[in-house]
Structure 1
Amino acid sequence: MTAALERIQSLPSWLVGRVAARARGLVAAALATEGLKLMHHAVLAASSEYGPLAQAELGRRVAVDPKDVVGILNDLQRAGLVLRAPDPDDRRKNAVTITPEGADVLTRCAALAEAANAELLAPLTPDEQGQLTALLTRLHEAP
């Protein structure tokens, strides 16, 4: 390895990116056992937390392009995990509601994501895991 490459691979930005890619892979593989992708999980969680919610607002809450939200919701509705119905406040919009089946899947996905994160953090002691989470939270919330 060259000195230039070593410098790049020791940068926090490079290391965080590599760890994030591994973390996404672990969680994605876990969620796949329920037939979901990462964004399906996020949209399902937002539907549970904020629903019933207009599709456009749901997309804003999870920072997903409206066109992509439609496809994700199509998948979730086809699986019986959410329902779309006319929004009672504005009949021109659809409101999204999680179904009981969706709530069950969301509960299982939460456990799967926790297990994947436990696998990711396994090389660290419990104290180190807490420190890492606290530091990442500070970086995430920084202006």
Structure 2
Amino acid sequence: MTADVPRRTVTSRATGRPGDTSPFALGLLLRRAHWRAAAVIAEILRPLDIELRHFAVLLVLVDRGPTAQRDLVAETGSDKAGVMRVVDDLERWGLAVRKSVPGDRRVRAVEITPQGLELFDAAHVAAESLTERLVADLEPGESEQLTDLLTRLVRSESGPA
């Protein structure tokens, strides 16, 4: 089955190569940058015996405090089952605990433990060289510019911060 797509002349097809001018070029570059950053972060977290998905939940818990499990889904961009598995892991390892929410017996909030906060801080110490490794090929000042541009891009997606 073929969709009814208007026939137009394609001026540039996506290649993912440097210099790609297709409408997909920026998205492809952001995807590759994400892969590179995720690989570096995974390497840093590996000796701490956690994965990026676990760190992402810990990050939310440090930033927001006790957080309802359903809110972790939205905050981490994961699905419900994935967040449940991560929280199960964190709880089993003593890094987080589930607690009842006063006034709503159905809702459980996840809270980081002192041991979880200790591991979170250890990850930051281990990651001191992270930014330098990720932006080693940039000129002075470009790292800050890139951070600013990405922050604006993310904010434009979700509205004013």
With the shorter chain as reference, the TM-score category is: 0.7 to 0.9
Identity percentage of aligned residues: 35
Partner SS, residue 125 of structure 1:
coil
Q: Given the alignment, which residue of 143, 148, 152 partners 1:134?
A: 148
**Structure-1-length-normalised TM-score:** 0.83
Computing the radius of gyration from Cα coordinates, the structure with the larger value is 2
Deviates more, 1:37-46 or 1:84-93: 84-93
**Structure 2 unaligned spans of 5+:** 1-11
Q: Show structure 1 runs of 4+ deviating over 3 A.
A: 4-8, 111-114
Conserved 8 A contact 1:83-1:97: yes
Conserved 8 A contact 2:16-2:29: no
Tell me how large the CA RMSD over aligned residues is: 2.3
**Structure 1 unaligned spans of 5+:** none
- In structure 2, how many angstroms separate the alpha carbons of the residues matched to 1:57 and 1:15? 29
**Could you give the per-residue CA deviations for residues 10-43 of structure 1, whole angstroms, max 9, x where no partner exists?**
2342333323211111111111221111111110
2:49 — aligned with what?
Answer: 35
Q: Do residues 108 (structure 1) and 131 (structure 2) align? A: no
Q: Which amino acid aligns with 2:67?
A: L
The structure carrying a bigger helix percent of its residues is: 1
- In structure 2, how many angstroms separate the alpha carbons of the residues matched to 1:69 and 1:58? 7
**Structure-2-length-normalised TM-score:** 0.75
